[in-house]
Structure 1
Amino acid sequence: MHVYILDIARYHSGMNDEIPLGRRETIAARLANGDAVVAAALAVEFGVSEDAIRRDLRALAAEGRCRRVYGGALPIPTDDVPIAARIDKARDRKEALARRAVSLVRRGELLFLDCGSTNFALVDYLPEDFELTVATNSIDIAAAVLRRADLKLILIGGEVDTAIGGAVDASAVERVSALNFDRSFVGACSVSVEHGVSVFSLADASFKRAVMASSRLSMALVTSEKLKARAPYRVYPLSAFATLVLESDVSTSEQSRIAEAGPSVLTAAKR
């Protein structure tokens, strides 16, 4: 204990870099694991000032290993990577979810496809000659829909958030609030029984709530890593969703827990 206190003291006098570097890597490991961190709590845990922790977080943010927020930092979400860079990642898994989900689509429906690479996979599997209309706020999804002559397209406009890949601002909220969707496929960054569906952007969460309020049925396609992820902005509890489509590797017990929270649970075919 004495050596630890001595090293901290050396750090504050600028004489020793070893302790802050080790502490910084410990914080980075938590962020990489998907955990948000709070500067005040870290200062107490490591026995240093909040200024020291803030320096650590600034350094990690400069390295692209976290996103600074007031009072702490958040992990860099996978969904902050532009959709164009995510489309081909785990494509077979996303296509399996899409094939399972489209079995619920009915002729003549007005569908909403939210931004996201998993929802992007839906476009190719929507039934032909079903007289479907697809509304979307995603630039990439809209382009894919345009390539299908049998689908009608409604593009939800507004200022495009490049990380999200579409519009989620007040203009987009106003537009979806004027529509009545038969079925919406809502994007998710994190899914859990305790916290429902959550995302990494406050504006995106507000937009998704507007979409769901305008939808007769809301669904989400969930890749397995999202069941372990954490995100700060809650969209709705699971009970607000009619259906969740999960991957085949989700345990039976976890599927039961999700179903008990409200939504019907479908599983994609095994790969």
Structure 2
Amino acid sequence: MLLTMQTMGFFFFQEVGFDALTMWDQMGGLARAVVIILFIMSAWSIGVMIDRLLAFNAAKAQSRQFAPAVAGALREGKLDEAIKIADRYKKSHLAKVVVAGLQEFKAHQMSSEISGETIEASKRALERAEAIVHAELKRGVSSLATIGSTGPFVGLFGTVVGIVNAFKGIASEKAAGLGAVAGGISEALVTTALGLFVAIPAVMMFNYFTNKVEAFDIEMNNSSSELLDYFIKRSQAARRA
């Protein structure tokens, strides 16, 4: 008896068909719309992930080259050379911040005596540059959080639609057998799985990128503090001279 039931089940699943094309054909309009929305969300999140990974890797690699080069120029007191070095590393988050401070400092340095206003102006320039670079680094990252939080609910909506279709199948065939509900249940399972498939990587990468941006913020903060210390020491040296 058990063998007979297993054989019947095997032939039933073969007849119904649970491959992707067959399930797509069995889906209603709403379920198909849910699947399309989930694929769009997935494509968007993948695009953001690739873009941010490339941007962060480039920023990290260029910053490693920029830091020792600009430090050497500043030790020798060559502000123009330091600015030129920063201009060569366009993708470095540190270079974008440092060059803003250096340019502001140089613009206000009209005499050998460096005033407190010059230091304050350079500090404000550094803070503005940090805010701009922070926004650039976070570009698109918040959309991953949105996709991660809404993806399961979009899939759940597809699940509800699939359940409704399953009950419609029961009502139309006036039977409660597996064949009456198979199509609707397959829609429900597929959309739920797709919702989780879209949401889980988006949430994981959002957390990863958030941690990376926080690390970049700390690096920019430290660089700004070191640059301000350099300006203050230069001001003290100018006053002694």
TM-score (structure 2 length as normaliser): 0.22
TM-score (structure 1 length as normaliser): 0.20
Larger-Rg structure? 2
